[in-house]
Chain A
Amino acid sequence: MSALPDRRIGVYVCHCGGNISDYVDVDRVIASVEQEPGVKVARTAMFTCSDATQTEIVTDIQEQELDGLVVASCSPKLHTFTFRNAAKRAGLNPYQYTQVNIREQCSWTHTDDHEGATEKAIRLVRAGINRTRLTSPLEPLVVETSQRALVVGGGIAGLRAALGLAEIGLGVFLVERSAELGGWVGRLGEIYPHGKNGYELVAGLEEKVRARPDVTVLTNAEVVGKSGSFGNYVASIRVQGEQGPETIEVDVGAIIVATGFDAYQPDEGEYGYGIEGVLTLPEFEELLSASDGPLELDGRSVRSIGYVYCIGSRQPHGNAYCSRYCCPAAIHASLRVADRGAGVSQYHLYREMRAYGEHELAFSESRKRGSLYLRFADDDPPTVIREDDGLKVTVRDLLTAGEEVTIPVDLLVLVTGMVPRSNDELIQALKLPVGRDGFFNEIHPKLRPVETVVDGVLIAGACQGPKTSSESVASGLAAVTQTAAMLKLGRAELDPQVAVVNGAACTGCGDCVAACPFAAIAMTGTNGNALAFVDGAVCKGCGGCTPVCPENAIDLLGYTDAQVRSMIDGLVAAV
């Protein structure tokens, strides 16, 4: 073993306000590692991420001339950038920083074993010190970013996002699968809560979008592929050409996915679906928008309406999630009915009334105007039958001491929720992450709510989860903001922790090319003299290529073989 490089490393172990120190003896961790070679500073802190401790770290780096930094705290997902930035402020290369996770992977997982958790933390911190000892300064890869973005989906969120991007000075390709822009909202009449007309809203937006020279609208178009990397993607779009389908390619820096939702479609017989007079909420809204004046169904006047809520949502077997928009939507629909003249009896059969925020006002209003609300238990749903004298819904109403009531209605609305849209091709093309509920997943609902794990691929609107129209617009604009934050400056820094090939050792076997899931490696040079080449802008630093190389000719900067071996040494050595 070669002599250890002479390093000056600072080690900080976090209490995380008890999240760690309630289970890990952080003072013992410090005592155990402060004698490790190269460690010059070793301290604990209540909140290492706090500004005060960051300032302390900066001071230590400068005063003690540290050339390596280890913070043992939470997941690197949370604070790697925090401490890299602190290092940078102090003049230390940020890639000479190592984050050691002793919270998610230690204190939180071993709450019943303080001794074991403490030992594990010591090993983890030691491994982090060992890795840091072998770090060298890395400079970020700087890429010029395209000043254009791709918006997938021409519903209200996508339209507003396209306009928003253009207004900030970014060029836009807006891709819509169907022939028309507008999505769900474009098919609606009056929408809540402001009583605006959905069709008119969308038409107004579309006019503005089409008027902008910097927005290219592609309808009957689908995204089928993506290559390149953040800042410089090439998106393949299948469009209807004059000679049939053809694929065009556009250069974009980022992609906003706003593909919306599908309405839940009940099964035949589910709450009487299929029986004459039983409609889903979208079908009912269509009926409402189709005519003015007193409501009629198949030519017969509608004098009474029942609403059954939570159809396809909050089900123990099936969709577990709440669809959010349906309670306010159904209440609003009942108010529209009431607007058309008195005399229609309306019965709402619900489980929990999610008239959140200002929707509460509509809920109150509907009750004032005669709507009756009956509450059924989760495990005791209403039954729907049609007899000779008409449609009947029977429910045990918890609000009246569990009394069973049978209500004859002319029309029954199944208040159906939202379901994820089937979009397999797009998911494949963009590598979109899908959550348990089938909607697209953001990285973090608070830290990075419109970003996905794929750099530069963002999500907006109801494709991420059920939302109302204005909530979708807000999230579309939030995606615009994030896109502009990434592209507007025209350049972006990429993580330099990428694979590199040692040309002298590479034999050109091509095993790494096959192993790379991001197509970041290509062979260069002629046959017999071919060498692997890694495109650093595409490489994600996953390390998939390094173990397959028979010559050990490929290494991952930041996680070199030597570093990983040293970390293993640190983990297995006795405590």
Chain B
Amino acid sequence: MSTSSSNGSSSAGGGGRVDYDARVVGSGIGGMESALKLGAMGYRVLVVEKEPSVGGKMILLSKVFPTLDCASCISTPKMGETTHHPNLTVLTDAEVAGIGRDDDGRFSVRVRQKPRFVDTPLCTGCRLCEFACSVSVPDQFNGELVARRAAYIPFPQAVPQKALVERAGTSPCTFACPAGIKAHGYVSLARSGEYEKAFQLVLETTPLVGSLGRACYAPCEEQCTRGDLEGSLPIRRIKRFLADRHEGGPGVEPGEPTGKRVAIVGSGPAGLTAAWQLGLRGHRVKIFEAAPEPGGAMRLSIPSYRLPAEVVERDVANVTALGVEIETNSRVDDLEALQRDGFDAVLLATGTPVPVQLGVPREELGAVSPALDFLRSVKLGDPPDLAGKRVVVIGGGNVAIDAARSALRLGASEVHEVCLEARSQMPAYEFEVEEAVAEGVVLHDSWGIRGFGGKDEVTAVELKRCTAVFGADGRFDPQYDETETDELACDVAIVAIGMRRERNLQVDAITLQSAEQPWLFAAGDVVTGPAKIVDAVGAGRRAAFMLDRYLRGESLSEVPFDERLPGVEHEDVLRRQRGHSRRDPLAPAIRLVSHPSDFAELEPGLAEDEIRAAAARCLDCGVCSECHECISVCPAGAIDLEQREQELEVGVGSVIVSTGYSLFPADAKPQYGYGRFQNVITGVQMERLLAPTRPYNTVLRPSDGKMPDRIAYVMCTGSRDETVGNPLCSKFCCMYSIKQNQLIMGALPLADVTVHYVDIRTPGKGYDEFFEQAKAMGGQFIKGRVASIAEAEGGNLILRYEDVDNGGHIAEAEYDLVVLAVGVRPNLDTKTLFSDEELALDEFDYVDEPEEDINPGATSIPGVFVAGAAAGAKDIPESILHAGAAVAQAAAWLEREKVTA
């Protein structure tokens, strides 16, 4: 649906379509030239550029042949004029989604506006975000010779001179976190030694930094891309380090008081996280906890060897430091009474405190107790005396494992664990089962419970063979072989077969709000049934977000909460990270002993150097780590990580395709070693080494930073070469190499430059004279193809080549640095520009010009023109003339349309 406004005025708000006379795709030199000339004639032009700056490839060059003008000096005025011209509208970071033809012969263009994650009008280009950014990635605007930040301004002359944040998506670790903790973010900050900032980043989500750093099952680590290589990063232990290192209170102030009061029932991970988030938002929160200590399962059931009570207490102290009041030993049965007491809202977060019973004979015997009660008594310092006793734990989950290992520590002579599942199917994590067995727990898998033996006190657990746990439909439906039985003698039996909630409260899955009582919310296990701590943290955070909106009188329907960009695929990361080096993971640190006798914490913390080494292994999958440093330093408040792609539609009378070219990927000639030999670089990289904004301020070779004395050029890399499918000459490589040759002789007066060429092609105004000049300056030119390049010790390179002019023999020469004069490949973006019609390409995939002889720039589609190297290799002057030709015809087309309209 589109409405076109004939006067071309832009319509306010979404939905409307803006009309232009012409649209130029691509803002390289050809595109800028086209747009500026059309603008000067009075046409209104929309320029769509997919990169974050206008200027194309030319602005990244050093000087340009044959005049040796500085490329910046020629490009920047055009870039500025393009963006400032009153008839031109420029969209950077924008891609054409499709061009269709309207009934009236005009074109309708769908443009995808990619997010910059920076509010561009607010950004002043001060670069503070760049300096603060914790992620470095190869700088594509510097030939990947150096690194840039994820938050960056593309290059010094970029237009607009505004920052952007590169986000490839959400990093897999962060994406995997049910709580929405920015795992990549704190890893990235830890890598920079910014431990306190990393700690604060976790606090943005939850106060339970230390507890999660120990007891989280770390779904982040399962998704870590390094896991596909040498092993995942120890993300959880990095978090633990942050918590252990942090001293004092949270260092966070509560929000501006809202005057609202919230009661939270239950102080487990959901309740504590919700209280924290609500406190940050300025609400007064009081938690009612039935147990004598706050912390829920973290405090009451997870054994101290995994999660010491002091750690939980410190996390709880974060919450109380924010002004949250916690009333322990305070059971709440009447939620309505809380409301009557003046609480504006109530959050139920009571978890699943009720143990599930077996329902087998003699379960009521003495010394048969639920695991939750047992673990709680241990953690609260009043453990049963198990010294020398035989203990049977029933259940195959994590709680059962916890109970079994705790029993061992209390001096039990034997600890048996019985579970329905075969070992491979046990719900407990395999590593926990392994640890339990290593400590001396005897596992009896695939057994069900017939009943208990004994009179008053239990003396035995009676078993029957379990043949299947789940039915065909995947539901819990255990099958037994009643004929196969056994019996385990025991003094104490601990049942750990599940937990359930005490109260059944129906809430909306998204808003967590009760349908009946809008002031009542519920979160965590009380809603979902037993889940991981980190799931409850996520639920608590969601509940607080919704509660806050409710308390502020805002709508809860269709509110985006924690909307993440799609997770990044591992393959994409590994493709991008071709050059990553092998970095081995840390060795496991837990030392297990048989029949441990105390509850000392098993896993040691990591030392700082281990943390740095571990965090340095991060592959920065999502590029931006969401460490939020840019947000905290930006003086203009311009960073907006919530920006998302938008699509807009424009109407145009004519289209000029000036999408330019791609460069030949030098690693497609493996015999030249690009990508393997550090001192084999491309002509584009040499451009950067010579440019005014050069990364090293001189010409250095990459492997060791040495100034090269002997430099070789390998011409026709990827051009005139059937073996890579490109029989065409790329036209400008001879000239740019000769230019670089002269610039190198200026930059490194002692260096020898040798050009290995097939034919020197300098057929342009002043070009051959330029070639003669290079020869006169001392440039060496050797005719003959280079067969292969080998690397010598120390990084030098041995070229094997044909010396045609001296008898045609095969020779070898050693160089410090080799430059591959890569040529041109078509930019295949042209294939998908048009949705209704086919833009004809020639046999080499350049835009076809069916009447090049007389109508250069005209394409197979009437009204669509091509400017510059999108139609085939062209140097800058030729691209500019070609753009002029395209514009003349586009203007003629628009005039014709005006007449016929």
Contacts and interface: CB of A to CB of B under 8 A. Distances in A.
Interface of A: 16-19, 46-47, 49-52, 54-55, 74, 78-79, 81-82, 85, 89, 156, 160, 164, 167-169, 191, 194, 196, 201, 204-205, 314, 320-324, 327, 352-361, 364, 375, 377, 398-402, 437, 439, 444-447, 449-450, 464-466, 469-471, 473-475, 477-482, 484-486, 488-489
A274 B128 CA distance: 75
Contacts of A400: 808
Interface string B31-49: 0000001001110000000
Nearest to B720: A360
Given A47-B76, A51-B159, A191-B853, A402 B807 contact: yes
20 contacts: A47-B156, A49-B76, A49-B77, A52-B161, A79-B73, A79-B77, A82-B80, A164-B892, A352-B760, A354-B762, A358-B729, A437-B766, A449-B881, A470-B853, A473-B855, A474-B878, A474-B885, A478-B880, A484-B41, A488-B42
B83 A51 contact: yes
B884 interface: yes
B161 A50 contact: yes
Contacts of A47: 72, 76, 156-157
A79 B76 CA distance: 10
Given A168-B888, A321-B766, A352-B760, 5 more contacts: A85-B80, A354-B763, A356-B729, A356-B731, A488-B41
B728 interface: yes
B853 A356 contact: no
Interface in B848-900: 852-857, 872-873, 876-878, 880-885, 887-889, 891-892, 895-896
Contacts of B856: 470, 473-474, 477
Nearest to A439: B765
A201 B69 contact: no
B161 A55 contact: yes
A358 B872 contact: yes
Interface of B: 29, 37, 40-42, 64, 66-67, 69-70, 72-74, 76-77, 79-81, 83-84, 125, 156-161, 691-693, 697, 720, 727-731, 759-769, 772, 783, 804-805, 807-808, 852-857, 872-873, 876-878, 880-885, 887-889, 891-892, 895-896
Given A16-B692, A17-B156, A167-B896, A354 B888 contact: no
Contacts of B692: 16-19
A201 B761 contact: no
A160 B692 CA distance: 41
Contacts of B728: 357-358, 360-361
Given A356-B731, A445-B67, A488-B41, A477 B888 contact: yes
A357 B873 contact: yes
Contact of B80 (A51, A169, A489): A51
A51 B76 CA distance: 8
Contact of B877 (A74, A358, A446): A446
A17 B693 contact: yes
A201 B854 contact: yes
Contacts of A314: 768
Contact of A398 (B729, B765, B768, B804): B804
Contacts of A359: 729
A530 B855 CA distance: 56
A169 B898 CA distance: 11
A354 B807 contact: no
Nearest to A73: B73
A51 B892 contact: no
A496 to B, nearest CB: 20
A320 B887 contact: no
B769 A320 contact: yes
B885 A478 contact: yes
Nearest to A359: B729
Contacts of A466: 763, 765
A485 B140 CA distance: 36
Going nearest first, the 9 A-B pairs with the smallest beta carbon separation are A478-B884, A17-B692, A52-B161, A167-B892, A485-B40, A477-B885, A322-B768, A465-B765, A324-B763
A445 B877 contact: yes
Contacts of A488: 40-42
A419 to B, nearest CB: 14
A470 B852 contact: yes
B763 A450 contact: no
A3 to B, nearest CB: 38
Contacts of B161: 50-52, 55
Residue among A160, A450, A469 with max Cβ neighbours from chain B (10 Å): A160
B884 A477 contact: yes
A55 B161 CA distance: 9
A364 B77 contact: no
Contacts of A401: 807-808
A354 B872 CA distance: 17
B713 to A, nearest CB: 16
Nearest to A194: B853
A169 B69 CA distance: 36
Contacts of B765: 321, 437, 439, 445, 464-466
B854 A205 contact: yes
B72 to A, nearest CB: 6
B79 A51 contact: yes
B76 A322 contact: no
A530 to B, nearest CB: 41
Contacts of B889: 164, 167, 477
A355 B729 CA distance: 8
Contacts of B160: 51
B550 to A, nearest CB: 44
B412 to A, nearest CB: 72
B73 A74 contact: yes
A361 B41 contact: no
A444 B881 CA distance: 12
Contact of B762 (A78, A322, A398): A322
Contacts of B37: 481-482, 484-485
B766 A353 contact: no
A87 B730 CA distance: 42
Contacts of B808: 399-401
B325 to A, nearest CB: 51
A324 B156 contact: no
Contact of A449 (B80, B783, B880): B880
A450 B73 CA distance: 19
B693 to A, nearest CB: 5
Contacts of B697: 18
A196 B852 CA distance: 10
Contacts of A324: 763-764
B333 to A, nearest CB: 65
B14 to A, nearest CB: 29
B50 to A, nearest CB: 19
B81 A85 contact: yes
A444 B69 CA distance: 10
B77 A327 contact: no
Nearest to B765: A465
B771 to A, nearest CB: 9
B566 to A, nearest CB: 33
B727 A82 contact: no
